[in-house]
């Protein structure tokens, strides 16, 4: 007899670590997880080292300094901010905070792969609305999917893994039509990479909308993926709900200190983000020149919808030491890395026989 678990667990598989690809001649380029290709800035390393000296103590459970720094940085009141152990955990808390048996959560699909898991764990019913043929959110269909049981709607902007965006007018029209008792989460994990001026900053939208929450992370542009810090900005009723379910001490003292230092190093980080944006455009153009179909991306990644050839293409890249992220039967997401990483990817793509 084994212990009885919730049947919903049968829908999922335990995480199996992917192997980082290494070519026969020892080259390795990791373009599978949308990380920053840059190591931490010296000022961030100093903050980490000094926080390391007090790890015999618990971290500040209120993340006071970090919340104050985020509030100051983004020009919002402190009671509009909640932090968590990565934005995926903040998202998990949002699911938990709104879900009751029968609760529905609407989001586009394909999108961030954690959403179905978070819905299931929270006991919510995921309502997945297919992306349009051009890889953009089908906001009309998402509106139509809202029922009296809907508690939350997520708009991932830009969308992971396609990189496509929802623009200002359509997003505002959408927000205006979502019932006010439904929480709308704008997942802006890749906000810093957006250069399309028609894409609104969620922080300009949530102010007049007490049912809108903006989700951000230190894992991408701020380069702290390994430390796990994410945050939410929303009206106090939402921020407080998330603070209530904050698991004690879940953001470590080292992570808090590094995030504060990263916010203070905005100028250096902006330069790095600018390099990634330039590389994104270069990689996109080069892939199109090679004959691939690449939708415009506003994230730190590009998307190739390869259907049946997805896994084959990913394996070909791996043989050249390039790790990409395949979604079997759908497509491949390729993170933008250093110039050298990206050149390796472009060489692997050029050598691949079947372009689309």
Given the complex with ligand PMP, which of 290 and 296 has the nearer CB atom? Answer: 296
Gap between the Cα atoms of 214 and 223, Å rounded: 19
Q: Which of residues 235-254 bind ligand PMP (CB under 6 A)?
A: none
Q: Which of 211, 217, 276, 310 binds ligand PMP (CB under 6 A)?
A: 217
Element containing residue 104 per DSSP (H, E): strand 104-109
Gap between the Cα atoms of 103 and 112, Å rounded: 20
Q: Which of 88, 98, 213, 302 binds ligand PMP (CB under 6 A)?
A: 88
Given the complex with ligand PMP, which of 131 and 316 has the nearer CB atom? Answer: 131
Are the beta carbons of 344 and 41 closer than 8 angstroms?
A: no
* Site size for ligand PMP (CB under 6 A): 13
Part of the chain binding ligand PMP (CB under 6 A), chosen from 20-28, 82-90, 146-154, 281-289: 82-90
Part of the chain binding ligand PMP (CB under 6 A), chosen from 56-64, 83-91, 243-251, 286-294: 83-91
Rounded to the nearest 10 degrees, what angle do helices 253-264 and 42-52 cross at?
A: 150
Given the complex with ligand PMP, which of 139 and 156 has the nearer CB atom? Answer: 156
Given the complex with ligand PMP, which of 121 and 350 has the nearer CB atom? Answer: 121
157 binds ligand PMP, rule: CB under 6 A: no
Please spell the DSSP secondary structure of 152-176, one letter per residue.
Answer: EEEEESSPTTT-----HHHHHHHHH
273 binds ligand PMP, rule: CB under 6 A: no
- Using CB atoms within 10 Å of the CB of residue 15, give its burial: 0 to 12 exposed, 13 to 18 middle, 19+ buried: exposed
160 binds ligand PMP, rule: CB under 6 A: yes
- Bridge pairing between strands 212-217 and 230-234: antiparallel
Q: Which of 135, 187, 192, 318 binds ligand PMP (CB under 6 A)?
A: 187
225 binds ligand PMP, rule: CB under 6 A: yes
Are the beta carbons of 292 and 355 closer than 8 angstroms?
A: yes
Please spell the DSSP secondary structure of 180-206, one letter per residue.
Answer: TTSEEEEE-TTGGG---TTSPPHHHHS
| Closest approach of ligand PMP to the CB of residue 84, in Å | 8
86 binds ligand PMP, rule: CB under 6 A: yes
Residues 6+ apart with CB under 8 A from 216: 87, 188, 189, 191, 230, 231, 232, 233
Q: Tokens 């004690």, residue?
A: 248
Are the beta carbons of 321 and 20 closer than 8 angstroms?
A: no
Q: Which of 163, 155, 91 is nearest to 129 (CA)?
A: 155
| Closest approach of ligand PMP to the CB of residue 31, in Å | 13
For 212, the token pair is 């809108």
- Contact characters 108-137, ligand PMP, x per CB under 6 A: ----x-------------------------
Q: Which of 119, 156, 257, 261 binds ligand PMP (CB under 6 A)?
A: 156
Given the complex with ligand PMP, which of 91 and 287 has the nearer CB atom? Answer: 91
| Closest approach of ligand PMP to the CB of residue 188, in Å | 8
Given the complex with ligand PMP, which of 220 and 235 has the nearer CB atom? Answer: 220
Q: Which of 207, 221, 209 is nearest to 158 (CA)?
A: 221
Q: Which of 32, 36, 87, 150 binds ligand PMP (CB under 6 A)?
A: 87
Q: Which of 21, 189, 214, 234 binds ligand PMP (CB under 6 A)?
A: 189
Q: Where are the alpha helices (DSSP H) in the chain?
A: 42-52, 64-74, 87-98, 114-122, 139-145, 168-177, 202-205, 236-244, 253-264, 266-290, 310-319, 339-351
Ranked by CB distance to ligand PMP, the top (closest) residue is: 86
| Closest approach of ligand PMP to the CB of residue 85, in Å | 8
Given the complex with ligand PMP, which of 323 and 346 has the nearer CB atom? Answer: 323
Residues binding ligand PMP (CB under 6 A): 34, 86-88, 112, 156, 160, 187, 189, 217, 219, 225, 230
């Amino acid at each position: 007899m084994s212990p009885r678990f919730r049947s919903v667990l049968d829908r999922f598989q335990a995480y199996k670590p992917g192997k980082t690809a290494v070519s026969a001649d020892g080259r390795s380029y990791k373009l599978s997880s949308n990380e920053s290709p840059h190591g931490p800035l010296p000022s961030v390393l100093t903050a980490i080292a000094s926080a390391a000296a007090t790890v015999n103590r618990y971290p500040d459970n209120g993340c006071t300094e970090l919340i104050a720094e985020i509030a100051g940085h983004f020009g919002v009141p402190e009671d509009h901010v909640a932090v968590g152990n990565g934005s995926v955990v903040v998202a998990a808390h949002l699911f938990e905070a709104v879900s009751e048996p029968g609760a529905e959560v609407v989001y586009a699909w394909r999108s961030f792969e954690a959403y179905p898991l978070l819905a299931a764990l929270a006991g919510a019913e995921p309502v997945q609305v297919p992306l349009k043929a051009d890889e953009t959110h089908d906001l009309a269909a998402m509106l139509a999917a809202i029922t009296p049981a809907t508690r939350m709607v997520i708009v991932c902007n830009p969308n992971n893994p396609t990189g496509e965006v929802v623009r200002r007018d359509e997003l505002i029209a959408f927000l205006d039509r979502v019932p006010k008792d439904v929480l709308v989460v704008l997942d802006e994990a890749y906000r810093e990479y957006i250069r399309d001026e028609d894409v609104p900053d969620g922080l300009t939208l949530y102010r007049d909308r007490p049912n809108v929450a903006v989700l951000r992370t230190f894992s991408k542009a701020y380069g702290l993926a390994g430390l796990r810090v994410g945050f939410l900005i929303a009206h106090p009723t939402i921020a407080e709900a998330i603070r209530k379910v904050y698991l004690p001490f879940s953001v470590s003292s080292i992570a808090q200190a590094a995030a504060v230092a990263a916010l203070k190093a905005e100028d250096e980080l902006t330069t790095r983000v600018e390099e990634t944006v330039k590389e994104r455009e270069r990689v996109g153009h080069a892939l199109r020149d090679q004959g691939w179909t690449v939708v415009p991306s506003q994230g730190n990644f590009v998307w190739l919808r390869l259907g049946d050839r997805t896994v084959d293409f990913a394996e070909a890249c791996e043989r050249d030491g390039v790790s990409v992220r395949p979604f079997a039967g759908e497509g491949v997401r390729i993170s933008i890395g250093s110039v050298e990483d990206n050149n390796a990817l472009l060489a692997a793509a050029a050598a691949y026989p079947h372009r689309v």
